[in-house]
A and B are shown apart, each in its own frame.
Chain A
């Protein structure tokens, strides 16, 4: 269980990115974090594993207050938090297997990771995860030889290799086509149910979020302005989160125009990526 209590982040330039954000995520729940660009979604999930240092407040994972950890303890706490990234953030020149095994770095001594002699249990588990995400036969390929959807599956396997107690997911579908986006979101939510993992998913695509997550939290200018079941999100709350706009067509069953945009973007991305 993750508890975020009065979390505030002020950057040194004086901008407040987060203002007393408070919520908790019980085991097995997938929380979608929505809000306009610059609302602090990315800062919020990076505060949890302290890739960004919070200014004040508390973040408790189980019994540990993550905000107060020293360097060593922080490394140990990070092992318990798996992270999945926008644009995958795989180390492109390493093989798929090495990328998955890098999820074990916090658990093995330097000489083991340096010589690539990971414990047999870790390797077995890495194969099992690659099989779970459907990439078993790609284990020895270089990460940059895979397609976008496949890379994100490797990213998921890497996060799971940590045997995490919490998943942080940052825009997992930002550069994927609509079909792959749905497959990736389904995979993430299935895995969270299987393992009873709590997860926070930053996501721009509101209909996609409504389709897959258990609960939505809306951020605007660093403050929580919505926290409820996905089907409770209506036009008024969307306006509250994102600002005034014509929201017709945003409901999950009639997202055609939005979808067409995505397809065009996906095609463009596929064209530049290959």
Chain B
């Protein structure tokens, strides 16, 4: 202990974000005031909550006694449609994604190509599946064709972006080495890039297959065919037991494909 030491014995962490003391006090108060006002505008109504809960109880009852049989024909057709949509859309989506992904990789493509491909990716990613589906159903009519297009379009944004990012992270020295042999552009992609990104591309495609099946159940609600359409009809007819059966089937299939694809991806690593 040296009481005459020149160094202070107290230290406090200096404020990091808001440095003025007044604002440090005001900001939480402002946020709180806004929260209170916002909650007021939501028309929180206890009566509606109670009513909704009792309706929810009917859902739960229906789900607890799922009825697979009485609408089995519709359910079967919906599932087949959904699975068809999922598979075709994933295959087409991935096939289109590969050239776009290569185009959107900064280390391979000239600037204009890069910008075009990145914009395609950005458009595809910024639109949520349901919004795309609403447009495409309006354009091409109800049914699985619109669903197929929706999922394929959404897959492009997802797969192409992640593929492009992976290509950009590919080892530069391996690319340089193949370039130094006098390889052409296509040979460079095939010998230096493809071996580095292939495991990831397969993993991404399997993952997208999963996502597309789940989305196929959602976009059916806006008319794009598949199991979602069947589910929507069941709920509209107050057939919660059939709806429960459909949900259970969707959950089972998603779990199965999740399990299968994670296994496959592990095997590929």
Interface of A toward B, CB cutoff 8 Å: 49, 51, 75-79, 81, 83, 85-87, 89-94, 98, 102-107, 110, 113-114, 155, 158, 162, 168
Most chain A CB neighbours (cut-off 10 Å) among B177, B184, B191: B177
Checking B179, B180, B186, B195 against A94 with a beta-carbon cut-off of 8 angstroms, the contacting residue is B195
Given A102-B183, A106-B181, are A51 and B176 neighbors across the interface (CB < 8 Å)?
yes
Q: Does B196 have its Cβ within 8 Å of any Cβ on chain A?
A: yes
Interface bits B155-195 vs A (CB < 8 Å: 1, else 0): 00000000000000001011011111111101100111001
Chain A positions within 8 Å of B181 at CB level: 78-79, 83, 102-106, 158, 162
Q: Does B27 have its Cβ within 8 Å of any Cβ on chain A?
A: no
Alpha-carbon distance A114/B183, docked complex (angstroms): 12
Can you list 8 A-B pairs, Cβ within 8 angstroms, ordered by A? Answer: A51-B179, A87-B173, A89-B176, A90-B177, A92-B195, A102-B183, A113-B191, A162-B181
Q: Does B198 have its Cβ within 8 Å of any Cβ on chain A?
A: yes
By beta carbon, the residue of chain A nearest B176 is A51
Given A91-B191, A94-B191, are A110 and B186 neighbors across the interface (CB < 8 Å)?
yes
By beta carbon, the residue of chain A nearest B183 is A105
By beta carbon, the residue of chain B nearest A80 is B182
**Complex contact B182–A78 (CB within 8 A):** yes
Alpha-carbon distance A89/B196, docked complex (angstroms): 12
**Complex contact B195–A106 (CB within 8 A):** no
**Complex contact B176–A93 (CB within 8 A):** no
What is the distance, in angstroms, from B193's C-beta to the closest C-beta of chain A? 9
Alpha-carbon distance A81/B184, docked complex (angstroms): 15
Given A89-B174, A90-B174, are A102 and B191 neighbors across the interface (CB < 8 Å)?
yes
Given A75-B182, A91-B192, are A85 and B187 neighbors across the interface (CB < 8 Å)?
no
Q: Tell me which residues from 171 to 228 in chain B have a Cβ below 8 Å from any Cβ of chain A.
A: 171, 173-174, 176-184, 186-187, 190-192, 195-196, 198-199
Number of A-B residue pairs having CB atoms within 8 Å of each other in the complex: 82
**Complex contact B182–A162 (CB within 8 A):** yes
Alpha-carbon distance A77/B187, docked complex (angstroms): 16
By beta carbon, the residue of chain B nearest A86 is B173
Chain B positions within 8 Å of A78 at CB level: 179-182
What is the distance, in angstroms, from B170's C-beta to the closest C-beta of chain A? 10
**Complex contact B173–A110 (CB within 8 A):** no
By beta carbon, the residue of chain B nearest A108 is B187
Q: Tell me which residues from 85 to 138 in chain B have a Cβ below 8 Å from any Cβ of chain A.
A: none
Chain B positions within 8 Å of A79 at CB level: 181-182
Alpha-carbon distance A155/B179, docked complex (angstroms): 14
Alpha-carbon distance A20/B195, docked complex (angstroms): 40
Alpha-carbon distance A92/B174, docked complex (angstroms): 8
Chain B positions within 8 Å of A155 at CB level: 177
Q: Which 10 A-B residue pairs are closest in the complex by CB-CB distance?
A: A106-B182, A78-B182, A105-B183, A89-B177, A79-B182, A93-B195, A89-B173, A83-B180, A105-B187, A75-B182
Alpha-carbon distance A76/B183, docked complex (angstroms): 9
Given A78-B182, A93-B195, A158-B181, are A113 and B176 neighbors across the interface (CB < 8 Å)?
no
Checking B174, B182, B186 against A91 with a beta-carbon cut-off of 8 angstroms, the contacting residue is B174
Alpha-carbon distance A85/B181, docked complex (angstroms): 12
**Complex contact B178–A102 (CB within 8 A):** yes
Chain A positions within 8 Å of B196 at CB level: 91-93
By beta carbon, the residue of chain A nearest B187 is A105
Alpha-carbon distance A81/B179, docked complex (angstroms): 11
Chain A positions within 8 Å of B177 at CB level: 83, 85, 89-91, 155, 158
**Complex contact A106–B183 (CB within 8 A):** yes
Alpha-carbon distance A51/B191, docked complex (angstroms): 17
What is the distance, in angstroms, from A228's C-beta to the closest C-beta of chain B? 29
What is the distance, in angstroms, from A178's C-beta to the closest C-beta of chain B? 23
Alpha-carbon distance A180/B20, docked complex (angstroms): 63
Beyond the given pairs A93-B199, A106-B183, 15 more chain A to chain B contacts, judged by CB atoms under 8 angstroms and listed by A's residue number, are: A76-B182, A89-B173, A89-B176, A91-B174, A91-B177, A102-B183, A103-B181, A105-B181, A105-B183, A105-B184, A113-B187, A113-B190, A114-B186, A114-B190, A162-B181
